[in-house]
Structure 1
């Protein structure tokens, strides 16, 4: 019976297993496979295009069940003719207007296995075509079906995108009356990587070596530069409509890498980096591609300027906007110093009011961040809290932003598109731009395409986007255009020299030059004609953007550290023997702190804190370069004003002005030597005098600090032993001795005089009573018959115990002496 029961349980389990597996694997909205589209030909259907669309890529089984009988087909929705229709097509499922037959892909796909696929479908014809007979922008769906193990046939993966059709086969295009001015921003931004920037005597240290992969051929940043060079090189019609948005920190990191660097390992050790060659190759390609192009310097490390302004840190805003010189020097280009593309295209007060001091007169912002509708894209004049500062804002096209970055809200922050979807977002951007061009008013408002900050697009995907833009340009739908200038038509504001120190508490800025040709080869839109006023707008900083800002508490800690950096700069000067400016030392320290405020850490407070700790550690290491040397043993003070030996060593490449700080110690005073100059990479010995008021041992804590109070290096403890009295003790002792001598002398004098008077009294009583007064000179008669000795003041002495005990008080009777 037990055997039969066991068999029944096993059979029941096996019977239920398929049902259980099917239920567990068939979660709503869960894809069993990942579809990666790598090529769409043509990206824009226009004159001369083939009569079919070819879509190729690969399919990966991401589940834990084998899938059999994989098939694919391409379904088409109705054409979208308005921006609202485009938004719905990007966000929601679109009803299929055509349902062609499936074509086989592969027979079996095991878990984690990958298989290529290619689908060809005619543009027009019978039921197995897309049935496109007029121009428009069509939503397409790549539908992959299969049969998972233990389940029925179902859709296992899909991919959606827009296909612009500007001309059906055999027909000419029908462009709009006027082409839409279009600018594509190409962001060159990465996450902060550099723990410590190279300074004289110290090598560059990176937190990891992932940037070397991105800069190497096939990497993200390499692909961006390569695709632009191939599809929009010199002489390309797109050249005037591209604008590179470059993070100075990325350029500084790549430049440091090509000279050799070290990488921090998980265990804290350091290892040689492998990306020197990749960095050198990438920088060379970037220099070539950016020649004569529009280049916008982003804030250093793409720092959160809005958060810095809200924390009332204008000096750090200035530091963040101080990277234009570095880019110009490394890439040999002129930058648009007057343009700011804030994080997420949103800017708030009080940061906006501070920008006027830094030459920013053009802002790239989302329309909603200006209180405008999505269709208002013409430049406006921004009212700030500074009545004398009214920059021009060029709205970013939110329709194109949604196409290029579908995972983010219009003014929120989200990661870049998932790998494998780059080409689909490029297709969506081309479709959205085509709809925008068809529905433009007269004159057409400019469209600025703003991709995600850390745009993850393969070279082929970006080539597809640029190729499509070139076709739309040639057919009269778009016109590549540069960014507009500010209200005065000037090319750029001021920028400080890259080696300038961080401004802090009155530290004077070192302003750099300004070039009248900033911005490239004349591809910028002309300034507004004199007398023509732009419509006004007010900043409308979104709540969602504020919620993602770098935390105020972290920024206050950052400001405190930045004060130390500025204090070190103010306390340093160039040493002629080494010839290093203080800014060479302090600017990398400030930049290291700004990495903690990077937009990469929006929504990641722990990562921001980690980078702030890294910046603090680096700063502490530099401050420790000036310190009091360790003194072994004990110092014996032979005299009350003996000097003590103190040696201050400076390992930094600049002269540093310091003060010795000696902790108070009862019984010991140490001479204040004032401000001392310690030469670069040298040392000086000092002998401050001491003043002791007691004998014994002293433990004295000595440190060195800047004249403003920032401590440099560690506190050292000296052991002192004093065997000599101090001047105060000697004076006090001598005074007490003199007082005792004076008192003793006074008593002796008084007693001697008292004894003499007593002796004279005894002689007078033995003489005859008939003696006359004239026989005893110096005497006077006493009516009472008794002669008394008198004090010089004429008073009779008081006879008391003290006088009786004095010598001579009782002559001839030693028993009465006490």
Structure 2
């Protein structure tokens, strides 16, 4: 054979061997799928969702493979692979992305299509027993949580065979059913039940919350209530997100479904006060902004959710009388950002004030003593803020980054220690596993990664199907109960507060919690027990957590924080000057409360991390304009022209105007020339409308001058615009005073001298040079002509 022919033959053989290795070898083609996608795997169903000793012994995965590329793909093949049981909490995330070396094939590749044109899809079904004496099977012999992967290979046009996509999920196995290939009489005795000798004490927080929907910049007493959109109308109606959450927990905790009350004991409703305020306002009718939230002048249209809001709220009130209820932080505000704002009053509204709102609207006594930190990490700043608000238990994500402190001796590396930690005499943290919370956050129509999660543990949520993400959540939630060596044997299940679960997701989660309790893997632990156990933690204090935790994308900018601090400070100063309107009963605090709550809504963690700062700045700008308008609504009426003061003590007439619905206490600051003094009128209570005033002044010179008048609150905040008056005074000052005094003295002396001489019968020397009045009279005749009248004859 010629060398050239031999070389071509050897190359062909090598290519065939390489292709065979890719198609039948133990692993998929090396490396991750390329940056240019060609195929996409979507898992549509996994049965059973949770494997038990009584479930079907065969695991079935169905789905489709789609050609999402720009060219046909030939030789599309698929196979199922699995990995060893997860041994650490971190493995609940790392097995779902990255390397695939841990996965082993369950069976050989199955050809789906010789060629898959672009835009086309082909279905698949992979079904294998959990264990079997006859291959193939998943080879699972013990309870645990097992990673499973659907691996797809193909050859794109103009390309080589490669792994083009995969889809991974977690399969929780609470018990191993019998081997289906064993048909002997004692097959049922071969089941492998879970270890229930050390059950996990389980607490489930079921969130009822939403993003802020009230339009920014609307002060108290504003009617009708304005919303930025009408999404709540859909969410509260039948089939909506909030209706789904409420319906699921209503059904699961009903006496018919939960006769012994185990799920009721383990579950507590986590209710956002801001949601209750919004829904309660909707029941009285409301309007919706036509465009972006831009203050009170935005065009509106009537809202459509009044009836849905009333029905949902009544259902919640009924359920709250039977189930534990605890408040979230108001509007799910970021406690770390609030600490940077540095306003203790605003922090108190967000934390201690939240329970009162929930109690008032629902007519219950909610469980106090716990603070649900929510989507963000418990940073050192957040811990300092909570420590100043009184005794509380912070339910927050454990820190997986610091392995030396978060991992106990009995746990695998990468598993957080969720035992309570006392930071200060007032503050104890009750951590939950962040990988479990993140898996729950991946459920629903809007999957997300919480801000408390280290970015290194992110998984491609948008790539995974809803079914795969549900499997991941179930596996993560059941993992601690299936790992008897993990300490401590307590667990807080904390989904994201603004949870977008579907009805199937909610059903699966609540069913899993009930199943794990009924099977003995878990015991219910009420929230009150969590608080009591945390309060009993010894007084030895741990160092505060760091401030650079979680995902930095979720941190609010310094510009937003400083803006919130500035607006809030002005609001507190104004509120201190406002009083109660006698006719309506509206107080100053009630009038400005929605604007302070707007500051908490601006810092809400319910908004996706990438959009937080933009939406916060938008709300902050709107509220800032409203606060400016409120300050400008109390002003001095500028009369124009000029005033003339008739005397040096003539009062200065003024008129004050208050366009607010509540009275305000003000002070006048009058700045005049050096020759003018003003009597301080003290605090003036200015009612809504007009108030005429006469300001006592004293002017010591005759001149035309300018008087600047400013209206301020008692603490010095300027109200409205300053007014400059042109004033003319007719007073002559001290010179006129002394001239008048001297003239008066001379007049008194002259009158006294005349009287003195008269009393002594002496003529006044001043009269000696004057003619006798009788002689003067005789000198004129009757006609008034000068002459000498004739004497008597």
TM-score for both structures, normalised by structure 2: 0.72
> Could you report, residue by residue, the CA deviation over 1:310-337 in whole angstroms, capped at 9, with x for unpaired residues?
5543332212111111122223343222
Q: Could you say which residue in structure 1 is the equivalent of 2:205?
A: 185
Give yes or no for contact 1:631–1:718 (8 Å, CA) kept in 2. Answer: no
Give yes or no for contact 1:701–1:717 (8 Å, CA) kept in 2. Answer: yes
CA distance in 1: counterparts of 2:385 and 2:211, whole angstroms: 26
Give yes or no for contact 2:248–2:506 (8 Å, CA) kept in 1. Answer: yes
Tell me whether 1:400 sits opposite 2:436 in the alignment: yes
Of 360, 372, 379, 2:406 maps to 372
Q: Could you say which residue in structure 2 is the equivalent of 1:292?
A: 322
> Could you report, residue by residue, the CA deviation over 1:366-410 in whole angstroms, capped at 9, with x for unpaired residues?
4438943265646435142xxxx2443322124423543574686
CA distance in 1: counterparts of 2:230 and 2:463, whole angstroms: 20
CA distance in 2: counterparts of 1:27 and 1:643, whole angstroms: 87
Select between 65-74 and 252-261 the one with higher mean Cα deviation.
65-74
CA distance in 2: counterparts of 1:48 and 1:181, whole angstroms: 24
CA RMSD of aligned residues (A): 4.2
CA distance in 1: counterparts of 2:682 and 2:452, whole angstroms: 58
CA distance in 2: counterparts of 1:91 and 1:246, whole angstroms: 34
Give yes or no for contact 1:190–1:454 (8 Å, CA) kept in 2. Answer: yes
SS of structure 2 residue aligned to 1:46: coil
Unaligned runs of 5+ in 1: 1-25, 490-524, 744-818
Give yes or no for contact 1:362–1:485 (8 Å, CA) kept in 2. Answer: no
Q: Could you say which residue in structure 1 is the equivalent of 2:735?
A: 732
CA distance in 1: counterparts of 2:68 and 2:234, whole angstroms: 25
Displacement, 1:141? 1.6
CA distance in 2: counterparts of 1:118 and 1:289, whole angstroms: 43
Q: Could you say which residue in structure 1 is the equivalent of 2:334?
A: 304
Q: Could you say which residue in structure 2 is the equivalent of 1:677?
A: 685
Displacement, 1:308? 3.1
Q: Could you say which residue in structure 1 is the equivalent of 2:356?
A: 325
Tell me whether 1:538 sits opposite 2:543 in the alignment: yes
Give yes or no for contact 1:380–1:535 (8 Å, CA) kept in 2. Answer: no
CA distance in 2: counterparts of 1:466 and 1:221, whole angstroms: 16
SS of structure 1 residue aligned to 2:399: helix
Give yes or no for contact 1:43–1:468 (8 Å, CA) kept in 2. Answer: no
Change beyond 3 A, Cα 1:68–1:283: farther
CA distance in 2: counterparts of 1:98 and 1:415, whole angstroms: 24
SS of structure 1 residue aligned to 2:498: coil
Displacement, 1:165? 2.1
Displacement, 1:39? 4.2
SS of structure 1 residue aligned to 2:406: coil
Q: Could you say which residue in structure 2 is the equivalent of 1:706?
A: 713
Q: Could you say which residue in structure 2 is the equivalent of 1:647?
A: 655
> Could you report, residue by residue, the CA deviation over 1:574-594 in whole angstroms, capped at 9, with x for unpaired residues?
233221233211221211122
SS of structure 1 residue aligned to 2:81: strand
Displacement, 1:461? 2.0
Q: Could you say which residue in structure 2 is the equivalent of 1:431?
A: 475
Aligned length: 668
CA distance in 2: counterparts of 1:69 and 1:222, whole angstroms: 46
CA distance in 2: counterparts of 1:730 and 1:87, whole angstroms: 89
Of 684, 695, 709, 1:688 maps to 695
SS of structure 2 residue aligned to 1:199: coil
Of 473, 476, 481, 2:520 maps to 476
CA distance in 2: counterparts of 1:252 and 1:402, whole angstroms: 28
Give yes or no for contact 1:668–1:691 (8 Å, CA) kept in 2. Answer: yes
Give yes or no for contact 1:222–1:282 (8 Å, CA) kept in 2. Answer: yes
Give yes or no for contact 1:232–1:239 (8 Å, CA) kept in 2. Answer: yes
> Could you report, residue by residue, the CA deviation over 1:189-236 in whole angstroms, capped at 9, with x for unpaired residues?
433333135622444333444454544555444433333334444553
Displacement, 1:161? 0.9
Give yes or no for contact 1:193–1:208 (8 Å, CA) kept in 2. Answer: yes
Change beyond 3 A, Cα 1:82–1:471: same
Computing the radius of gyration from Cα coordinates, the structure with the larger value is 1
Give yes or no for contact 1:226–1:285 (8 Å, CA) kept in 2. Answer: no
Change beyond 3 A, Cα 1:232–1:117: farther
Q: Could you say which residue in structure 2 is the equivalent of 1:199?
A: 220
Change beyond 3 A, Cα 1:698–1:364: same
CA distance in 2: counterparts of 1:27 and 1:468, whole angstroms: 34
CA distance in 2: counterparts of 1:572 and 1:138, whole angstroms: 63
CA distance in 2: counterparts of 1:37 and 1:461, whole angstroms: 15
SS of structure 2 residue aligned to 1:335: coil
CA distance in 1: counterparts of 2:311 and 2:74, whole angstroms: 45
CA distance in 2: counterparts of 1:279 and 1:33, whole angstroms: 44
Q: Could you say which residue in structure 1 is the equivalent of 2:779?
A: none
Q: Could you say which residue in structure 2 is the equivalent of 1:715?
A: 721
CA distance in 2: counterparts of 1:432 and 1:734, whole angstroms: 95
Q: Could you say which residue in structure 1 is the equivalent of 2:193?
A: 174
Superposed, 1:486-635 pairs within 5 Å as 489=532, 533=538, 537-545=542-550, 549-552=555-558, 554-599=560-605, 600=607, 604-631=612-639, 634-635=642-643
SS of structure 2 residue aligned to 1:538: coil
Q: Could you say which residue in structure 2 is the equivalent of 1:773?
A: none
CA distance in 2: counterparts of 1:415 and 1:323, whole angstroms: 34
> Could you report, residue by residue, the CA deviation over 1:240-265 in whole angstroms, capped at 9, with x for unpaired residues?
22233333223223333343133261
Give yes or no for contact 1:78–1:97 (8 Å, CA) kept in 2. Answer: no
Displacement, 1:127? 5.7
Tell me whether 1:467 sits opposite 2:511 in the alignment: yes
Displacement, 1:163? 0.8
Superposed, 1:82-121 pairs within 5 Å as 83=89, 85-92=91-98, 93=100, 94-102=102-110, 104=112, 111=119, 119=125, 121=127
Q: Could you say which residue in structure 2 is the equivalent of 1:226?
A: 247
Displacement, 1:353? 4.8
Give yes or no for contact 1:303–1:320 (8 Å, CA) kept in 2. Answer: yes
Displacement, 1:286? 3.8
CA distance in 2: counterparts of 1:685 and 1:485, whole angstroms: 62
SS of structure 2 residue aligned to 1:139: strand
Q: Could you say which residue in structure 2 is the equivalent of 1:504?
A: none
Change beyond 3 A, Cα 1:486–1:133: closer
Q: Could you say which residue in structure 2 is the equivalent of 1:241?
A: 266
SS of structure 2 residue aligned to 1:309: helix
Give yes or no for contact 1:198–1:256 (8 Å, CA) kept in 2. Answer: no
Q: Could you say which residue in structure 2 is the equivalent of 1:450?
A: 494
CA distance in 2: counterparts of 1:664 and 1:485, whole angstroms: 68
TM-score for both structures, normalised by structure 1: 0.70
> Could you report, residue by residue, the CA deviation over 1:418-463 in whole angstroms, capped at 9, with x for unpaired residues?
4965543432233234442233249852012233343333221232
SS of structure 2 residue aligned to 1:163: strand
Of 651, 656, 659, 2:667 maps to 659
Of 243, 261, 267, 2:287 maps to 261
Change beyond 3 A, Cα 1:33–1:622: farther
SS of structure 1 residue aligned to 2:542: strand
CA distance in 2: counterparts of 1:151 and 1:693, whole angstroms: 100
SS of structure 2 residue aligned to 1:609: helix
Give yes or no for contact 1:337–1:360 (8 Å, CA) kept in 2. Answer: no
Displacement, 1:479? 2.3
CA distance in 1: counterparts of 2:67 and 2:367, whole angstroms: 47
Displacement, 1:340? 1.4
CA distance in 1: counterparts of 2:363 and 2:41, whole angstroms: 42
CA distance in 1: counterparts of 2:667 and 2:112, whole angstroms: 82
Give yes or no for contact 1:196–1:206 (8 Å, CA) kept in 2. Answer: no
